Structure 1
Amino acid sequence: MTEKRNTRRGMLTGGAVLLGAAVVGSPGTAEAANGNALLIGRANTGSAETKLTNSGTAPGLNVTSTAAAHAALLTTKNKDRWGTWAANDAAGQGVGGAVRADGRQNTGLSAGTVNPKATAITARNTAGGASSMRRAVVGTATPTAQPKLDAFHDRNFWGGGGEFAGTNGLIGLATDFGGYGVLGIATEASGVGVYAEAPPDQTALLTLGNAFVQGNLSKSAGSFKIDHPLDPANKYLSHSFVESPDMMNVYNGNVTADANGETTIELPEWFEALNRDFRYQLTPIGDAAPDLHVKTKVAGGTFSIAGAKPGQEVSWLLTGIRRDAYAEAHRIKVEEAKPAEEKGTYLFPQGFGKPASAGIRRQRPR
């Protein structure tokens, strides 16, 4: 009896009790280190891994916080290390997050950082072969969002990327000057940095503000769309772009001929540096002018006309072909054969009586 009472007293005052994968320790208990059991209720330090392995179907570790506004699990990053590192094996997930179905505004996985140059979550998938179809990050806002995406396309667009579904599929916010809200980079010659698609007659990409394209902009059609000047609250007004196969610039204006029926048109100082192969059109206003003609062609920033009646108004139109450095290096291919992987597909399949699945853009995403 004496030996049993002493053992019980040691457990209460100076010993440690092993509970599953952890130890409830008193202040006198040694630190957990180098793979030993964790001590509940005090700081744990170690220079080797402390592992928890579970061969069953239940979670290896389930941490729940019953206090309001407190985290169930907190990990802190120290310099160039990770606060939490999650790796998946086979078809598993490195990190999984689920939200309650009771309509509350919960977040399945939330990550924040107090350092503007730090990264809240880093997800990486380095698997090759067939496993490369696994995603580094998977996020679903509602249980019905993914089926809607599957019904929209006829191929798996999301093989190597992330799925973000809901009212806003993906939100990117740049908080530093010069940053990018969304950055898409294609490393292969046939890749697409950012791909956007919408049903017919819907908007695939909307920009509120200026847009800049450093490179060629190819499109099936183009127009401006504004509030109708005569009924801006109820109508829109659209005009199509002026197109040409040879990078043409268009300039025009009205001038008044002098007493000799002549006048000189002055052009911007950069005009001849930007343009070549000039073409002219002259239209007399108010009366015929059979002798109206271009007297001198563009030279030194001007060209002149003659043959109008004294004091007559003349409309002129002048075009030029771009000759700047970028245009010279990137001439538009007016006619070109489709590459082998795009033959048999169409930019506008419906116009040729083909199904939507024959569209080239439906074939491109991988």
Structure 2
Amino acid sequence: MSVTVEHLTKRFAGGSHPAAEDVSFHAPAGAVTALLGPSGSGKTTVLRAIAGLEEADAGRVRIGGEDCTRVPPQRREVGFVFQGYALFEHLTVRGNVGFGLRVRGVARKERDARVDELLELVQLQGYGERYPSQLSGGQRQRVAFARALATRPRVLLLDEPFAALDTRVRVELRAWLRELHERTHVTTLLVTHDQEEALELSQQVVVMHEGRVRQVGTPLDVYDRPATPFVASFIGNANVLRGRVEGGRAALGGLSLEAPGGAPDGARVHAFVRPHEVRIARAVEEPAGVHAVIAALTRVGDLVKLSLQLASRDTLMVHMAHTELEALGLSQGERVSVGIRNARLFVEEHAG
């Protein structure tokens, strides 16, 4: 069941700008679509408008081609999983999972069979008589998923479902959610500010910033072919170098890169370079070219993060495997040669 959002705008009283402004995208049936962006970008506002929990000031929401813009939430046939679980503490796991079915008047026998089916689906067989307070955070969130799926919704809406969990549990639940989606194939919209979560779980990403959609595409599209400077800087935490076009080349912090097509000499440009796209070598082995000094070096597990200071005083962050650094035999304070494998350049006046 596909979801289409058309020119949706939502303003809240006292806000200087709309929480969501002219938002449009299509979430394909049976796929996971991630709404990705920093806090305050409008992601949750859009999700709540799809659910009918917020009334849009303008625009339309279609579910399966049907205009649901003015349809009450209970008639939209969507399941909603909140960041904070929102379980009923006085009900058992079985009571929580079967709550929506009981409200709809589903017969006890049918309700019990559906609850049993869902507890197996979320891998909580044997936990039905426990209360939420007797569960771990990850287990509580799986109960929330089972409750959302109990009424067989056309669409599943997830609002930062793993944000309250620690890193290890988040990683485990991401893998679990992939398996769950492969079994249910329910159209899913996932709100997250976590790039890794969005890129790993979704087939489509809607990147939002300041209430607007900045790019819609596959995870590879938004990562490899960012459409705007914001997307380029947000996805992958890129280095930003600034400079000008000179003789058809972009001069940036001592580096010379191919200028964006059509950029005239003198145009100001921004280059976005992800930390793993910076190549370094010992300066003595590559005496020509651009040099930098390793100003700081930090090891994080198998990854090493280096801060390079160019002669222009610009700083480049570099990420590389610890084994690669060991092979180079480099340490803090040493001089290195710098190269760029890949960069995305934008003319400054096109920034957005």
Class of the TM-score when normalised by the shorter of the 2 chains: under 0.3
Greater strand percent: which structure?
2
TM-score normalised by L of structure 2: 0.25
Which of 1 and 2 has higher RCO (CA within 8 Å, sep 6+)? 2
Greater helix percent: which structure?
2
TM-score normalised by L of structure 1: 0.24
